[in-house]
Amino acid sequence: MLNIYDVERARRTILRREPPERQNLPPALLEGVERIFGQGVVPSEAVARILASVREEGDQAVRRWSQLLEEVQVEELRIPNSDLVEASQDLPTALSEAQRTAADRIRGFHERQPLQSWTTDALGGKLGQRLTPIRRVGIYVPGGSAPLPSSLLMSVIPAQVAGVEEIVVCTPPRPHATILAAAHLCGLETVYQIGGAQAIAAMSYGTESLAPVDKIVGAGNLFVALAKQQVYGLVGLDGVAGPTETVIIADTTADPAWVAADLLAQAEHEPMASAILLTPDRSFAEAVQAEVARQIEPLSRSGIIAQSLSARGGIVLTEDLNAAAALVDEYAPEHLCLSVSDPAALADRIHNAGGIFLGERSFEVLGDYIAGPSHVMPTGGTARFASPLSALDFVKITSWIELDPETSAELSPLAAELAKAESLTAHASAAELRTEGENV
């Protein structure tokens, strides 16, 4: 179930990066798409049809897709605020306290992130950058077989810290009470029971029930990711999230049972999740292998875990820890866990990872729920250039240019020369007119 690979074989298989549309998708998913949309229709084409219909028909199309794809008949798309209050009141005390602690830590972390406008007069006049909160943001919260109220907290709170005026949450129909309770905890009043690609369409184009947003954030399934790809430019995005992924680097000081538990936790998200261990020690690899086989049996989502580990998981034997670090930089994982004797030294060698978890006590599950940083992180190798969701995702930067007359006069002839070199004579003329005015 959890195979052991050499590095080259791993590069050709479990460490090979493919865009979402070229990944080996589960046959059941492809069969479902063809059953609903027609023979030969692939997921990206199905998503395009959903987007087009919601753009043209609004709420009517949203309801139709909810009925067809999720087998739920939805009359009111907006969930009454009273439902959020009731869900919060009915939440078990222990869970309510856990959600509140998580929310406090998430807010405390993001409030420490610098969000400052600035100016300088060192270059003549006033130059700088102004940070302005995005006015209206849409947040997608997965529902499905594993409702994720944690994703609501991890996305909404950074937006609130940034000062976003309007936050709209969409989550699949008949959302779990824990999601509604999390929304109430954040002080939200606007939650819509719309899932999948139709939710992305509704937030992008607007419908009779909700106005369009300026930016959409939040992870979802393949159809959500493809929909976000197709609406980019009309709205801003935090990124196009693919299946979740974890890489663990471990040496013989690590506990095989703990490492196995962390791999299993990652794999239970979905069949396309990736849980990969890199280690230079075969005996340790085999001990983890045995622990995975032992621990998986009583788990409630053991079937999903088995699919994930056999298709996209594995153990890779590396020459040493430095070779493992180099392999991580190639792969650029969403989560990187360092279960080694000196995690800080190894972390210094790694440039590409969404989040780095140093030591076995800083395990990924804590990051998923309660440590503080948002668990919405770059997937699919995008950690080479992208960052985890933060308050900075909810502000935009405007350049501030206010030159004094002396600096303007000094720079104008130089700008004219640069414009002439580019054959842009109107640009040159605009600069020269200022110069002539100074000579009158």
What per-residue confidence (pLDDT) applies to 434?
A: 87
Single-letter amino acid code for the residue at 127: L
Listed as own residue / partner, the contacts of 284-287 with beta carbons closer than 8 Å and 24 or more positions apart are: 284/250, 284/251, 284/252, 284/254, 284/256, 285/4, 285/315, 285/317, 286/4, 287/256
Cβ–Cβ under 8 Å, residues 139 and 217: yes
Residues of the chain with pLDDT under 50: 439-440
pLDDT for position 22:
60
- Assigned domain for 374 exists: no
> What pLDDT shows up at residue 39?
87
Do 109 and 171 lie in one domain? The reply is yes
Give the pLDDT of residue 19.
Answer: 66
Residue 176 appears among annotated catalytic residues: no
- The answer on 261 and 223 residing in a single domain is no
Q: Is residue 405 part of a domain?
A: no
Residue 377 domain flag: no
Whether residue 312 sits in one domain with residue 228: no
The parent domain of residue 201 ranges over 81-239+391-396
- Shared domain for 100 and 190, answered yes or no, is yes
Say if residue 427 is in the same domain as residue 354.
no
3-class DSSP state of 175: coil
Which residue bears the tokens 């798309």? Answer: 77
Say yes or no: 230 and 348 in one domain.
no
Do residues 233 and 89 both lie within one domain? yes
Alpha carbon 311 to its chain centroid, in Å, reads 23
State whether 206 and 312 are in the same domain.
no
Identify whether residues 111 and 233 lie together within a single domain: yes
Same domain, 141 and 219: yes
Please indicate whether residue 351 is annotated as part of the active site. no
Whether residue 331 lies inside any domain: the answer is yes
Select which of 335, 360, 364, 375 is catalytic: 335
Supply the pLDDT for residue 358: 98
Residue 373 is assigned to a structural domain of this protein: no
Which one is catalytic: 70, 334, 360, 364? Answer: 334
Instruction: Check residue 79 and report its DSSP letter.
Output: P
Question: What pLDDT is recorded for position 30?
Answer: 83
- Residue at 43 is within a domain: yes
**β-strands 126-133, 395-402: how paired?**
antiparallel
Q: Which pLDDT score, from 0 to 100, does residue 440 have?
A: 39
CATH number at residue 327: 3.40.50.1980
Task: Specify whether 275 is located in the same domain as 294.
Answer: yes
Q: Is residue 378 part of a domain?
A: no
Q: How far lies 86's CA from each of 15, 96, 146, 182, in Å?
A: 46, 13, 21, 12
**275: in domain:** yes
* Number of domains the chain is built from: 4
268-304 residue pLDDT tens? 998 889 999 999 999 999 999 999 999 999 999 999 9
Say if residue 300 is in the same domain as residue 180. Answer: no
- How do residues 210-238 score in pLDDT, each as one tens digit? 999 999 999 888 899 999 999 999 999 99
